[in-house]
Structure 1
Amino acid sequence: MAVRAVQSGVMRIAEALRVRDLADLTGLPDTHVDLFVGPGHPRLAAVKAAIDSLSVGTSTEPPRVPHLEARLRAAWKARHQAPNHREVIGALLPGLIRDAQVLARHADSTADRRAAQALLAQTYSLAQFFLSYQPDAALLWRVAERGMIAAQGSDDPHAIGVAAWLPGQAHRDSGRRHFDAADAINEQALGYLRPLLPDADDDVLAIAGALEFELGYTAARRRDTGTAWRHWDKANDVAKRLPADYYHPVTSFSRAVMGAHAVTTAVELHQGGEAVRQAARADELTIPSRPRQARHRIEEARGYQLDGQPDVAIATLEEAYKAALETIRYNGYARALIREEVESKQASRRRRAAELAVQVGVLTA
C-alpha cells in the first residue's frame, strides 16, 4: 500500500508538471524512466523480429500492389473495430512488414518503386501504433525513421505527411525537452503540404489538418493558451472542408474528432471546466473507431478529474475500457488516474477504481 501511495504521488506530480520522464522531475539524467510506458505486448517479440529481419536473398514472391493495398486497408479497419486492437494488428504486422519489404525491394519501374515505398511507409505507420507506449523506444524510433525514408522515396504527399505526423507525436510524448523537435517536424511537413491544399484530395487535406492540430497540442503542453486554440481553429477550418462522413484511417482526423481534440486541448491547458464543457459538445458526434473512442474517454476522464469530479472520471474510464481495453491498458494517464483513486478515502470510489485497476492490469486480483 505504501509503495502504491508513493507511485500515485509521483504520477500526480508528473501530471501536474506535464513531464513523462523521471529525470525531468529529479534533474538527474541517470534516473531516466518513462512514467507513461505500458506493458510489453505478447506479440512484441514477433513484430520486432519482422522489423529487424533483412530478408536478403529471400525467395519470397513479392505480392501485387493491389493485394497489399487491400490487406493494409483491412488491417486499419480491423484496428478501428477491435477493442483488443494491439492483438489484432500485432498478429497481422509480421506478414505485412515482410511482404511490404519484399515488394519495395523487387519493384522495377519508377512508378512501381514509388507505389511500393508508399505501402511500406503505411506499413511502418501501422507498426508505430502497435509499438507506441511499449517498453522498446529504440524500436519505435527505428520504425519511425524507416517510415520517413520510405515516404520520401514515394514522393507521395499524403505518405510524407503521415510519416511526419507520427514522429512528431513521439517527440512531444518524449517530454518537454523534445517539444521544439515536435514543432519543427510538424511545421516542415505543413510547409511542404500547404501549396498543395487548394487542389488536394481529402486524404491530403486531412493529414494537413492533423498536423495543424498537433502544433496546437504541443502549444497546450507548453500552457500557451492562445497558440493552442489558434491552431485548433485552423485545424477545424480544414475539417469543415471534408465530407461529413470522412474519417482518416491513420490520424482519425475528421469533423467528428474535432470535439475530442478540443477536450484534449483544454485538458493539456489544465482548464478543467472548459474540458468538461467541451466533452458535452464532443459527445454529440460519434467517433467511428473504438481505440479513438477510448482515448477520448480517457481525455474526458482527465478533464473531470481536473474539475473535481473523480467519481465521474472513474465512470468515464470504465466506458473507455468497454470501448477498447488495450487503449486504456497502455495509456499512462489512465493508469495514473486509476492508481490515484485506488487510494481514495471514499469507499465506493476506491472499490470501483480497484476493480478497474485489476481489469486494466494496474493491480493483480
Structure 2
Amino acid sequence: MDLSGDLSVGERIRVLRESRGMSRPVLAQLCGRGSDWLKKIETGERELRSHTLLLQLAAALQVHDLSVITGADSGPAAAVPLGRLNHPTMPDIWAAVMQRTLAPPAAGPADPAILQGRVDQTWNLWHTSSHNRTEVGAVLPALIRDAEAAVRSLDGVQRRAALVALSDVYRLTGQATAYVAPAELAWVVADRALSAAQDADQPAAIAAAAWNMGNILRETAYPEEALRVVTEAADLIRPHLDADSTPDDWRGIYGALQLHAAVTAAREGRDGDAWRYWGKGDQVAKSLPAGYVHASTVFGRANVDFHAVSVATDLKKSAKALGLADDIDPDIMPSVERQARLWVEVARGHLQRGDRTAALHVMQKAHEIGAETVAYTPSARHVAADLWRSAPRAMRKEASALAEAVGVATA
C-alpha cells in the first residue's frame, strides 16, 4: 500500500479498501451508507467530518489507528475498537459501555418499571427482526446510559429493580455484539451483567447473567469454565423451583442453563453428558404451561427441540440431527434468530453427510429468515465459505451469491 503523506482522507480510504479487496458498495453498507456517498468521500467531492463515521470506516477496514485514515502523524494514537467481525453500530456501543460517566444523573429518578419495559421491548426486537444487530444496536447506547443513570439515582427496592434491568441490558448487549465486539468489551459487558444481578440479589437475574457469561466463556475456548458457571447458577436457583409461587420464568432460565450445558458438552464430544443436560431441559419444558417462552433466552418446548438438533450436530450425528429436524415445525419458534440458527444447524448436518446441494438450499432459507444472524455467526459463515469453495458446478453461482451476501470473501 502507498499511503504517502500527501494523500487525502478519501484517497487513503480508497487505497485501504482496494488493498483489502472490498467493493465500494460493501464498505458503504458496513457504514450504513450508500455507494454514492462513499464515492464522493473517496473522490474528495464530500468532506468526512463525522468522528463516528471515521470509526465505522476504520473498523470495517480493520485499521487499528485512525491516523492511518486521517494522515495525522502527531499526538497519541486514536485506537479503533475491533472485533472478529465488523458492524457499524459497534463504535457507539463501545462509547456507551467504555466511557461510563461517574457524574450524578442530570434528570430526576427514573421509573424502573418503564425502564424494564423498554428492555423487554428491545429483547423482543432482537428475536423478531431479521436485521436484529442493526436495529437493536441502534437503541442500545441510549438504553445502556439510561439504565446506568437509573441505578445511580435510585435506592432501596427501586434500585434493585433498576439493577435487574441494567443486568438485562448488558446481557442483551452481549448478544447483540457477539463476534463483533473487541474481547475487552465482551468481558466487561458479561461481568457488568453478572455484577448488577448480584447487587440486586435476585436469583433469576443472577442465573440469566451466568447464562450470558457462559456464552462468552464457551465462545472464547473456556468450555470447562462455561460449564462450571452455568451449573453453579443452576444449583443456585434449583432450591427455589419447588415452591408453587415460583414464577415460570425462574423455571425457564433454569431450563435454559441446562440447554447451555448440553451444547457445551456436545462441542467437547461428551455424548452422555450432553444428552443428560438436554434431558433435564426437556423435563423443565414439560413442567411449564403449553406455549411458554422465556422472554430473553426463548426457552420453551420449541427451543428444547431446536437444541436437540444442535446437540446431535455438534456430536457429528448427522443422521440423527436431520431426523430430529424433520419432526420440527420451525414456525412455532417465536424467535427469528433461533429459526435461522436451526436452519444453519440443518445445513451443517447436510454438509457432514456430503450433501452440498441440500446444505445450500437450507442456508439460503436461513439467510432469507435472519440475514444478520447468518452474516454474524461464525458457524454459518463457515458453512457459506465451505459451500462457495466446493458446491457442485451447477450450484456455484448460487453459492457465490450466498457467500457474497453473508460477507465471506470470494476473491
Q: TM-score, normalised by structure 2?
A: 0.77
Q: Deviation per CA, 1:266-308: give whole Å up to 9, x if none.
A: 0110111111111112236621111111111111111111122
Tell me whether 1:88 sits opposite 2:135 in the alignment: yes
8 A contact 2:384–2:406 mirrored in 1: no
- Runs (4+) off by over 3 Å: none
- Corresponding residue number in structure 1 for 2:342: 296
Tell me whether 1:271 sits opposite 2:320 in the alignment: no
Tell me whether 1:226 sits opposite 2:309 in the alignment: no
Distance 1:346 1:118 in 2: 51
- Corresponding residue number in structure 2 for 1:98: 145
User: Which of 177, 183, 198 in structure 1 is aligned with 2:242?
Assistant: 198
- Corresponding residue number in structure 1 for 2:290: 244
Tell me whether 1:130 sits opposite 2:172 in the alignment: no
Letter in 2 for 1:174: T
User: Which of 125, 149, 152 in structure 2 is aligned with 1:78?
Assistant: 125
- Corresponding residue number in structure 2 for 1:180: 224
Aligned length: 328
8 A contact 1:354–1:363 mirrored in 2: no
CA shift in 2, pair 1:206/1:345, >3 Å: closer
8 A contact 1:38–1:332 mirrored in 2: no
Matches within 5 A, 1:26-175: 38-57=84-103, 58-108=105-155, 110-175=156-221
8 A contact 2:130–2:336 mirrored in 1: yes
SS in structure 1 of the partner of residue 390 of structure 2: coil
User: Which of 309, 313, 316 in structure 1 is aligned with 2:359?
Assistant: 313
Matches within 5 A, 1:343-354: 343-344=389-390, 346-354=392-400
Tell me whether 1:329 sits opposite 2:329 in the alignment: no
Q: Deviation per CA, 1:316-345: give whole Å up to 9, x if none.
A: 111111111110001111111111121226
Percent identical pairs in the alignment equals 36
SS in structure 2 of the partner of residue 95 of structure 1: helix
Superposed displacement of residue 104, structure 1 = 0.4
- Corresponding residue number in structure 1 for 2:385: 339
8 A contact 2:400–2:410 mirrored in 1: no
SS in structure 2 of the partner of residue 257 of structure 1: helix
Letter in 1 for 2:346: E
Superposed displacement of residue 347, structure 1 = 1.2
5+ residue gaps, structure 1, are: 1-36
CA shift in 2, pair 1:54/1:340, >3 Å: closer
Distance 2:84 2:306 in 1: 23
Tell me whether 1:189 sits opposite 2:233 in the alignment: yes
5+ residue gaps, structure 2, are: 1-82
Q: Which has the larger radius of gyration?
A: 2
Superposed displacement of residue 234, structure 1 = 1.0
Tell me whether 1:261 sits opposite 2:307 in the alignment: yes
Superposed displacement of residue 66, structure 1 = 1.9
8 A contact 2:197–2:206 mirrored in 1: yes
Q: TM-score, normalised by structure 1?
A: 0.86
SS in structure 1 of the partner of residue 332 of structure 2: coil
Distance 2:133 2:289 in 1: 29
Distance 2:366 2:150 in 1: 38
